[in-house]
Amino acid sequence: MEDDRDADPPPAVERPAAVREAGGDQLDILLDLHSIASADTTIPVMQVVEHLGIMYCEEPTRPLNRVVPDAR
């Protein structure tokens, strides 16, 4: 089995990693995923960038598509 730890990082990691490198450890990093991912996608992505110390991830998953009855 090939060891991929030295492989190029995916784009989801490259930008936050570049921000962390440029801003240092004192910079608060916020990610906005714009609700484009499912929880099954978001969780592994956040685990991959966990070492970067992301402060907050906004709109990490798609909203639920439940229909709320009219309350009037």
Q: State pLDDT tens for residues 10-58.
A: 677 889 999 999 999 999 999 988 888 888 888 888 998 999 999 999 9
- Confidence band (pLDDT; 50, 70, 90) for 3? very low
The single-letter code of the amino acid at 39 is: A
Structure tokens that stand for 22 in this block:
């440029």
Structure tokens that stand for 66 in this block:
């439940």
Structure tokens that stand for 21 in this block:
């490198």
pLDDT at 8: 64
Helix axes 39-49, 11-23, angle to 10 degrees: 40
- pTM, two decimals, is 0.67
- Among the listed residues 69, 12, 19, 72, the one whose alpha carbon sits nearest the alpha carbon of residue 46: 12
